[in-house]
Structure 1
Amino acid sequence: MDANTEEQGTENTQEVKVPIEAIRVIDPAVIANLPHGTRVLTIAAHGASFWTRTARLDVEENGTRKAYFLKTTYGETGREMMSSEFACMSRVRSVMPDLVPAPIGWGTYVGMPDVHFLLCEFRPMTGDVPAAVDLAGKIAELHRKSSVGGAKAKFGSDVPTFHGNVRVDHGWSHFWEEYFARTTWSLFELELKTRGDDTDVISNLVPLFEKVIPRLLRPLQMGNHSIQPCLIHGDLWDGNTGSDAETGVSIIFDAASFYAHNEYELGVWRQPWNKINKSYREEYYKHFPKSWPEEDWDDRNALYAIRVNLLDSILYKDDPSYRHMLISGMRELVDKFPGGFQEWEASQTKGDAEST
């Protein structure tokens, strides 16, 4: 498995706190996750990341050479990141075993108690972004296979996820609108705390939450209409995908998974910097139809993209472009839906009356 920086085009101004020794020595805690009798041959830095150090571990197991991918982090946040990623990758793999590298284990170094690690199967990559026809179909399959109905149908997660090193707490809700509004409000609070107050952000907050979110998300679960929570990757940009150099199949990694409206996955596919873009969205809908009301699908996608920009604005607090994109997206939807859900509901009632 290759490691990548969080987003292409974003300059790395973060200092990696993980000591370089973490990927120069083989800690006993890592060895404990390998099959008994495994002989370690080499460890070498592999890939790049803003907040971690990563390496390829080559070993010999019963006379056969094998490789593993090792990711290391530092401090309490780093420990939570490794625990979360292991849980998320394990959940995705339980649904689609060939789609993600097998997570082997995670833990804390014996020799360096502030260093934590994730150990995975190593999958060699071509360096190319998987083709839309393959990747979009696989993601749609993941969503279909993991859909949950009935009394167990809840949106969210009992596991916190991380956008870079930004923690997201989810909780559970039977209603997608409630889940999305609650967790997104918390992220706006964090964005304003991180960057400082901004008149444009604050002035658009009330109409976004009182008009736009109910208008676009409430109809999804109204009357005879419903959506089923499904397991999503959670941050599926081109740097978190690859093609297996040996088999050619699509691979995804660095999951931040939770149970969501399937279309939320496509919010990051709207971003101008993401090579997974409009053509992937179009291919996806060939495999997984748009939710009702279908005419709202592009605006829902724009709403989900706002949350992506929100997370990036927190993560890259010194880059003004992410807040600019956030404000632009908020303004566009606030201006488009001043009447909110009430106006839409009235239009539906009028339409029903005219059809009888």
Structure 2
Amino acid sequence: MEAMLKKELGTSMLKYTGYSGGGCISEGQSYDTDNGRVFVKINHKSQVLNFVFVCITCTNAITIKAKRMFDGEMASLDAILQTETIKVPKPVKVIELDTGGSAFVMEHLDMKGLTKYSTQLGEKLANLHLHNKRSLDKQMREQQTENEWQDDWVTFYSRHRLQHQLNMVEKSCGDREARELWSHLQLKIPQLFTEVEVVPALLHGDLWGGNVAQTTEGPVIFDPASFYGHSEYELGVMAMFGGFSSSFYAAYHENVPEAPGFTQRNQLYQLFHNLNHWNHFGGGYKGSSLRIMKDLVK
């Protein structure tokens, strides 16, 4: 594999630094090259189960090629990087391995757990979420025309996110209570958005505590599954798993104020992640999924 990396990266030196890392899907390690230090994520399987459902290049819970998974992550990092709002590792290249599987090469960052940049993270994440709105506002001011790229987020989220997950629940266990609750909840969802304008925002897509860190210069986010959606969606998984300080939320909401109905919509966005985990990790998430649905249909 190292010979292939040297060839694809055009480097005569490829020296393992001793630093490694990874998650539940891929492993990773750092190398010194002629052009500086890089971090390489590696998945030796030709196909992997895709746990991320809302990314730029892949949107469903399916078994996919490792290369396609890394292509999606590279596109996500590129999209965030181009906003110049928050630091992410610079993507370099996705490489298909001749032994099967793929590798994703990116900039190496000396990261550690987020401890003192929570306020900056809140400000920078807000700027990421506002970037598209500001671009659209600028375009309308300059062109004085209506921007045609306005999708119905409520219908998209209801049908292609929640309904999709509930279809999977129905297929695997046919839960009667979930089916009955959904029949009531889907009629109520539009009411949760009557006082809010949804402008598509570029999202990280999977921003929990394990995908946030810091360097000496400030906060970093990584492992994105980016897409354009409601900025409040991002805060659903953050609230579900916790780990973000009050200073983060204060800084974020100073730039993106809570709109009326925020609390209920936050529950609605947590519902997707609970259903997702129910489908992939078992009935341990059934209770939380049903509880959220009951709260929302009251």
TM-score normalised by length of structure 1? 0.70
- Alignment of 1:302 with 2:277, yes or no, is no
Instruction: Give CA-to-partner distance per residue, 1:274-323, whole Å, 9 cap, x none.
Output: 202665334311111233xx2x1111111111112122222323xx3322
Instruction: Give CA-to-partner distance per residue, 1:220-272, whole Å, 9 cap, x none.
Output: 3xxxxx3311101011111000001x32x10000101111111111111221x
Measure the CA separation in 2 of the matches of 1:26 and 1:207: 55
Instruction: Give CA-to-partner distance per residue, 1:76-111, whole Å, 9 cap, x none.
Output: 32222111111111111111265100011113113x
Q: Which amino acid aligns with 1:104?
A: V
Pairing 1:105-144 to 2, within 5 Å after superposition: 105-110=93-98, 112=99, 114-129=100-115, 131-144=117-130
Measure the CA separation in 2 of the matches of 1:132 and 1:46: 25
Local SS of the residue matching 1:47 = strand
Measure the CA separation in 2 of the matches of 1:129 and 1:324: 32
Q: Partner residue of 2:286?
A: 323
Measure the CA separation in 2 of the matches of 1:46 and 1:136: 28
Q: Partner residue of 1:60?
A: 34
CA-based RMSD of the aligned residues comes to 2.1
- Alignment of 1:253 with 2:222, yes or no, is yes
- Alignment of 1:201 with 2:186, yes or no, is no
Local SS of the residue matching 1:58 = strand
Instruction: Indicate conservation of the 8 Å contact 1:232/1:262, yes or no.
Output: yes
Q: Partner residue of 1:228?
A: 199
Instruction: Indicate conservation of the 8 Å contact 2:70/2:104, yes or no.
Output: yes
Local SS of the residue matching 1:119 = strand
Q: Which amino acid aligns with 2:254?
A: K
- Alignment of 1:217 with 2:199, yes or no, is no
| Cα offset, 1:45, TM superposition | 6.2
Q: Partner residue of 1:104?
A: 92
Instruction: Give CA-to-partner distance per residue, 1:44-65, whole Å, 9 cap, x none.
Output: 561131111211122234xxxx
Structure 1 residues 33 and 143, CA gap change in structure 2 (3 angstroms): farther
Q: Which amino acid aligns with 1:177?
A: V
Q: Partner residue of 1:343?
A: none
Measure the CA separation in 1 of the matches of 2:16 and 2:87: 27
Q: Which amino acid aligns with 1:302?
A: Q
Instruction: Indicate conservation of the 8 Å contact 1:129/1:275, yes or no.
Output: no
Percentage of identical aligned residues: 24
Instruction: Indicate conservation of the 8 Å contact 1:236/1:265, yes or no.
Output: yes
Q: Partner residue of 2:235?
A: 266
Measure the CA separation in 1 of the matches of 2:21 and 2:262: 36
Local SS of the residue matching 1:236 = coil
- Alignment of 1:153 with 2:139, yes or no, is no
- Alignment of 1:26 with 2:10, yes or no, is no
- The answer to which of 303-312 and 274-283 deviates more is 274-283
Instruction: Indicate conservation of the 8 Å contact 1:130/1:242, yes or no.
Output: no
Local SS of the residue matching 1:151 = coil
Bigger Rg, structure 1 or 2: 1
- The ranges of structure 1 where at least 4 consecutive aligned residues each deviate by more than 6 angstroms after the TM superposition are none
Measure the CA separation in 2 of the matches of 1:192 and 1:279: 40
Q: Partner residue of 1:283?
A: 251
TM-score normalised by length of structure 2? 0.83
Which of 258, 279, 285 is the aligned partner of 1:314? 279
Q: Partner residue of 1:189?
A: 167
Local SS of the residue matching 1:251 = strand
Local SS of the residue matching 2:34 = strand
Structure 2 regions of 5+ residues with no counterpart?
48-63, 137-145
| Cα offset, 1:120, TM superposition | 0.7
